[in-house]
Structure 1
Amino acid sequence: MYKLQFLEKKSKNFPKALKMARQIGCTYEDGIIRIEIKDILNGYRQIRQLFHYIQNWKGTQATYNNRPVHPYRFLLEAEWIGECYDQRMIDKDCGTGFGCRKLDTISYHITGPYFKTHTYWYNYGTWKGNKWIIDKKTIYNLLIAYAEKKAISECPLFDETDLWNRVQNLPEFLIADGILWEKVYEEKFVKGERIQVPRNIKHRYPDKLKGSQFCLLDF
């Protein structure tokens, strides 16, 4: 549930804001106006005019499932999720990868050269000998947290079980063979000596493939 509150003000616009809040449905007690919205995907349409007055007032705050969120931005993003849902009901295509077009905080498909600014699924893991063990639990938890933050979890098509299964289908481990994968190092000082220590792993993208539509890795 989304909960919004703002404070009583001496502003000339407060009576207008209070009137709008009452039309939406609110409580007004001890100088605090509180609104609860259950239909998150349509909440922005209900409340956007109210934000014209209150979004910059000190004391305006909101929570979603008891976690702080940006009062205005969260509902706007929820509106976008609702629009995406409407479109998916037409084309029946939520995309591949993690099963949701909006769940893009971690890259699933590897279709081009490595970019330091991107976060790939394989970035989460630990070295055990020559094997880079994929931390699937962390990947799943990060995706769920992102889905909550961006209101993706409100989409009727979002399926946590399906997401879990997709994460489980990722490789158990990778090996830096110098062909598809290579180690990422960092410098550390050990007993006064600077050494290179494996920190992560990254995919390789041969020069001959650059500019083509070839998908290097597509699990």
Structure 2
Amino acid sequence: MSNLFSIFEPSTSMMSMPLNWISSMMVLMTIPSMYWMMNNRYNKMWHLPMKHLNKEFKILLKSKNNKSTTLIFVSLFMMIMINNLMGLFPYLFTSTSHLTMTLTMAIPLWMAFMMFGWTKNSEMMFMHMVPTGTPVILMPFMVCIESVSNIIRPGTLSVRLAANMIAGHLIMTLLGNTAMSMTMNILPVMLIIQTLLLMLETAVAIIQGYVFAVLSTLYASEVN
């Protein structure tokens, strides 16, 4: 079991060098900036989903004039999705399976939202503590519940992303280890299962990035 979790160990070395965390930057290092400026199919492949995400996040933020409002959330989705997909390749480190990575993204966003909300929209932040129609007797309890749910938001964002990445990779590792001791009759079935699981993990990698970005956008819309 200790060897099973070694794939999520940050200190695990590749080629006798601690290059694990650099794997999250491999995509940016292998794509020259000139390719992003040329009007080609690869560029359009990135711009189409970014435009759709920009429209959707603007609706969530209720922002019509400011074009740069959703840039941070679209960039956040792209970074998480790339790191999740890179973790599906052999011998590559999944950085988003660690709370070190996910908390680094969630906590600064949450702190920025809270600082902006309590300094600029203090009255509205107090209104969020007590939902409309709450009886007077339950108001103190609702304030405590809403405060706790607000404080644990960065933790839930981080744990959700890390747990989903760890769960899928562990299942793939377990199936890969058991395939070595199987007979040739069962091996094709195991190969089909592994292929389907890899397709599922690819979808989960994209969905988790989308969920992280959408929830961050909804948290931002509450304080704006």
Establish whether TM, by shorter chain, passes 0.5.
Answer: no
Q: Give the structure with the higher percent strand.
A: 1
Q: Give the structure with the higher percent helix.
A: 2
Q: Which has the larger radius of gyration?
A: 1
Structure number with higher relative contact order (C-alpha < 8 Å, ≥ 6 residues apart) = 2
TM-score (norm 1): 0.24
